[in-house]
């Protein structure tokens, strides 16, 4: 009876709290559309954002164009006539903002202060309730750092103004890219979390005629089995990066893109195309798309894999978000416990069709909660006898199955999260827990036909899940000397780390004492399959190899500089660089990686792991590892990419030089071209082969202090004119600079890249 009374008290309060939680229905109005502010149906929104203010390039004050001043001055009062409770914000920047002006503003304290003070004053004078910062062209690590400083100072100024003038505090938000990653850096999630009230995530423009003129695609895919450019990946990266879901507002595009088909009969997603249709960028408002569909009696199709709509008329193909897509995305935002949604932009709608669909989806959810509340309360009140009976039977079953030697049927299903207790709960829920039967079915009973290969951990199989997604399945071998720790490390790290150049672990299975990892499937195998083979290497021209070098650099840069933790891979090598369908690289195999706190520079161990040929001398001699260990491995890998040569062979006239020595001797004697793969041509590339050789030799220096950081490497690769240090003789050289003594590091080690070692135990 006490249980029933407790249910009567707790359940209603729990449901009422959940139902009462606020849900944001937000939208941008862009002055460039000339859509009358008075025509906005503000009753469909809780927040409306007026776009855009700009920055004066001389004073760095917030500035409004003369044509916008009148509209902006009446924006708040106008939209509040129909909806007095609507909250208004002024957005600053936008897609046409001048990169140099914004980068300069955020980099100088005095300019930041001018901008901040003027923004607060202007927001107050025009009646806005908050400020929204939109700088989509931010790209560098310096930009990211300075944005963090701007938000720190901006929030402080807003709080001070509110206290000093006894005003309600202005909201502070930003329009952010779909994921936390920008071109060459990661946005400052800690500062964003601390200072901003919420973030508008621009979850669109993944696949457009400008970026992908040769192929139709989903401009705003919720999911994409072949690419990380999708909303689910982006939202997951923000959350795993440390931004709470209740601070994320999901962007919904009220527009689409049109392509010109090469063959009107081939009109599906991914069909060959000849660039955009209608406009240079191919962009179309939702209203224009609906008008086009009505004019030609076209039929739109819904694709549940990407969650998108599309239609075609003769040679024109249009991808967009229709009503069904908008409802699906709002439901997704609810399931992810996000704060709400924001549309770009309000005037693009067709007779408020999409805005109403989004709002109705929210109302349906709220009604569902009330319905659930009644369904729960009525049986509790009227069926107390039944509940007592069920509870009694459950207690009896519980006692029965807790006897020694007996388990509940679902105990195995709960076990994985307990088994992986090292994983924080906010990380692990991004990984799917698979049953053994699911994996067995996906791999056709672990058949030989599905087997992709085998390493020290165990065999790897190609699998196909019930939803059609192709995966790679790595199963721990019974004879493997690796196990629990490597398994936990791999799952822990891939749950925390999200980057386009890191291989994703989708889930795992620990039923029946198995240790199985499920990865995204990489159809083009690993880098070593190509660069060492005289025929396969022809598939990798210099442009593709530049893409691989850049991707690996960005992956390591993220691990060392931009993730919440510093990660040392410790087994970076060609076979651990996997290639997707576009030959873009992903760093794989984090089983022996090490995690550092940001203030720790190095550590040591008695357990030497990694692969000979890629391991630096200080690690072999003294077990010392640091971020410079991965820099060394990257240098070896870079030498292999530009030459097609292995570390396990010896070179030179007498075949007595290892790969590093051979590269250095040729470079020192101005014969570096002889080291390079003769099939490569860098004439039309800003990425030069000799620059890569110079950088690689810096990375493989004996002393870790002489090696550059990944930040420095990234900069040198992108800036050919940068002055670079002259490398000394590399590690493991037979002779040192200036004498003929044998290097202490070379004794007994050699340079071979045959297998990963764990205290001389192969993986």
> Which residues participate in catalysis according to the annotation?
571
Residues 6+ apart with CB under 8 A from 534: none
SS (H, E, C) 61-110: CEECCHHHHHHHHHHHHHHHHHCCCCEEEEEEECCCCCHHHHHHHHHCHH
Report residue 607 as tokens. 């357990």
CB-based contact 151:191 (threshold 8 Å): yes
CB 471 within 8 A of CB 506: yes
Helix (H, G, I), strand (E, B) or coil at 181: strand
Write the CA distances from 460 to 432, 446, 519, 583, 737, integer angstroms.
18, 9, 10, 20, 45
What are the residues whose beta carbons fall under 8 Å from the beta carbon of 441, sequence distance 6 or more?
466
In whole angstroms, what is the distance from residue 91 CA to residue 97 CA? 12
Q: How many residues does the chain have?
A: 763
- Contact partners, residue 160, CB within 8 Å, separation at least 6: none
Q: How far is CA 364 from the centre of its chain?
A: 31
Question: How many other CB atoms sit within 10 Å of the CB of residue 586?
Answer: 23
Q: Residue 678 in contact with residue 657, Cβ under 8 Å?
A: no
Give me the long-range contacts of 295-299 (CB less than 8 A, separation at least 24). none
Residue 237 CB: number of other CB atoms within 10 A? 22
- Which helix (H) or strand (E) segment holds residue 244: the answer is none
State residue 697 phi and psi, 5-degree precision: -65, -30
Q: Are 583 and 592 in contact (CB under 8 A)?
A: no
Please list the residues that pair with 48 across neighbouring strands: 27, 88
The answer to whether the beta carbons of residues 204 and 342 sit under 8 Å apart is: no
Q: What are phi and psi of 708, to 5 degrees?
A: -75, 165
541: its two tokens? 């021209």
CB 153 within 8 A of CB 115: no
User: Closest by alpha carbon to 549, among 687, 403, 711?
Assistant: 687
DSSP label of 757? E
Q: How far is CA 409 from CA 222, 414, 416, 440, 575, in A?
A: 35, 10, 14, 20, 41
Show the tokens assigned to 373. Answer: 């509340």
Compute the distance between CA of residue 456 and CA of residue 763 in angstroms, rounded to an integer.
Answer: 3
Q: What is the DSSP string of 605-624?
A: -SS-EEETTTS-HHHHHH-E
Q: How far apart are CA 245 and CA 235, in angstroms?
A: 8
Phi-psi category of residue 623: left, alpha or beta, with phi > 0 → left and psi -120 to 50 → alpha: left
Q: Please report, to the nearest 10 degrees, the dihedral formed by the alpha carbons of residues 562, 568, 573, 577 taken in order.
A: -40
Contact call for residues 200 and 342 (beta carbons, < 8 A): yes
100-102-108-114 Cα dihedral, nearest 10 degrees: 130
| Residue 210: DSSP 8-state | T
Distance from C-alpha of 486 to C-alpha of 594, rounded to nearest angstrom: 11
CA atoms within 13 A on the CB side of 631: 28
- 734 within 8 A of 746, measured Cβ to Cβ: yes
């Amino acid at each position: 009876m006490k249980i029933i009374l407790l249910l009567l008290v707790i359940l209603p309060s729990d449901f009422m709290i959940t139902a009462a939680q606020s849900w944001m229905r937000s939208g941008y109005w862009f002055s460039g559309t000339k859509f009358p502010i008075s025509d906005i149906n503000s009753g469909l929104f809780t927040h409306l954002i007026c776009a855009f203010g700009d920055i004066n390039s001389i004073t760095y004050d917030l500035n409004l164009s003369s044509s916008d001043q009148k509209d902006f001055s009446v924006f708040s009062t106008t939209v509040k006539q129909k909806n007095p409770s609507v909250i208004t914000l002024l957005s600053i920047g936008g897609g046409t903002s001048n990169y140099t002006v914004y980068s300069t503003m955020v980099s100088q304290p005095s300019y930041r202060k001018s901008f901040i003070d003027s923004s607060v004053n202007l927001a107050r004078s025009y009646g806005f309730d908050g400020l929204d910062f939109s700088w989509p062209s931010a790209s560098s690590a310096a930009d990211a750092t300075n944005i963090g400083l701007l938000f720190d100072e901006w929030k402080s100024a807003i709080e001070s103004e509110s206290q000093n003038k006894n005003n309600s505090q202005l909201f502070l938000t930003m329009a952010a890219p779909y994921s936390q990653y920008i071109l060459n850096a990661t946005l400052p999630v800690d500062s964003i979390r601390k200072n901003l009230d919420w973030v508008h995530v621009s979850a669109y423009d993944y696949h457009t005629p400008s970026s992908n003129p040769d192929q139709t695609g989903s401009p705003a895919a919720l999911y994409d089995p072949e690419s990380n450019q999708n909303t689910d990946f982006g939202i997951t990266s923000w959350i795993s990066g440390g931004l709470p879901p209740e601070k994320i507002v999901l962007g919904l595009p009220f527009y689409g893109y049109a392509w010109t088909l090469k063959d009107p009969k081939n009109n599906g997603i991914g069909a060959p195309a000849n660039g955009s249709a209608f406009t240079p960028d191919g962009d179309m408002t939702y209203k224009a798309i609906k008008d086009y569909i009505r004019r030609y009696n076209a039929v739109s199709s819904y694709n549940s894999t990407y969650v998108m709509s599309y239609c075609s008329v003769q040679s024109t193909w249009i991808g967009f978000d229709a009503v069904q897509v908008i409802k699906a995305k709002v439901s997704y935002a609810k399931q992810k416990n996000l704060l709400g949604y924001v549309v770009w932009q309000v005037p693009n709608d067709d007779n408020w069709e999409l805005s109403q669909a989004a709002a109705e989806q929210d109302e349906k959810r709220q009604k569902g909660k009330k319905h659930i509340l009644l369904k729960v309360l009525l049986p509790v009140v009227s069926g107390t006898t039944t509940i007592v009976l069920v509870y009694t039977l459950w207690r009896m079953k519980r006692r029965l199955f807790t006897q020694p030697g007996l388990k509940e049927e679902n105990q195995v299903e709960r076990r994985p999260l307990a088994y992986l207790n090292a994983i924080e709960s906010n990380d692990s829920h991004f990984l799917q827990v698979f049953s053994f039967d699911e994996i067995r079915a996906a791999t056709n009973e672990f058949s030989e036909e599905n087997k992709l290969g085998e390493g020290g951990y165990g065999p790897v199989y190609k699998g196909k899940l019930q939803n059609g997604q192709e995966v790679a399945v790595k199963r721990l071998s019974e004879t493997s000397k690796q196990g629990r720790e490597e398994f936990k490390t791999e799952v822990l790290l891939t749950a925390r780390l999200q980057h386009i150049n890191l291989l994703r672990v989708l889930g795992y299975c620990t039923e029946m004492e198995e240790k199985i990892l499920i990865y995204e499937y990489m159809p083009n195998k690993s880098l070593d399959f190509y660069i060492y083979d005289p025929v396969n290497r022809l598939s990798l021209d210099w442009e593709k190899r530049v893409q691989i070098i850049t991707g690996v650099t960005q992956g390591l840069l993220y691990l060392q500089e931009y993730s919440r933790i510093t990660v040392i891979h410790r087994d970076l090598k060609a076979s651990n660089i996997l290639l997707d369908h576009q030959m873009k690289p992903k760093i794989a195999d984090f089983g022996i990686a090490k995690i550092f706190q940001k203030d720790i520079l190095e550590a040591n161990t008695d357990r030497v792991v990694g692969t000979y040929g890629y391991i630096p001398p200080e690690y072999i001699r003294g077990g010392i590892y640091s971020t410079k260990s991965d820099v060394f491995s990257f240098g070896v890998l870079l030498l292999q990419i530009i030459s097609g040569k292995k570390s396990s062979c010896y070179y030179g006239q007498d075949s007595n030089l290892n790969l590093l020595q051979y590269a250095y001797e040729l470079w020192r004697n101005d014969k570096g071209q002889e080291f390079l793969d003769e099939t490569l041509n860098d004439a039309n590339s800003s990425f030069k082969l000799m620059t890569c050789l110079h950088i690689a030799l810096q990375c493989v220096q004996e002393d870790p202090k002489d090696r550059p950081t990944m930040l420095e490497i990234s900069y040198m690769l992108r800036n050919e004119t940068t002055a670079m240090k002259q490398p000394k003789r590399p590690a493991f050289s037979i002779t040192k600079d200036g004498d003929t003594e044998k290097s202490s590091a070379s004794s007994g080690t050699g340079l071979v890249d045959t297998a990963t070692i764990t205290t001389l135990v192969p993986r």
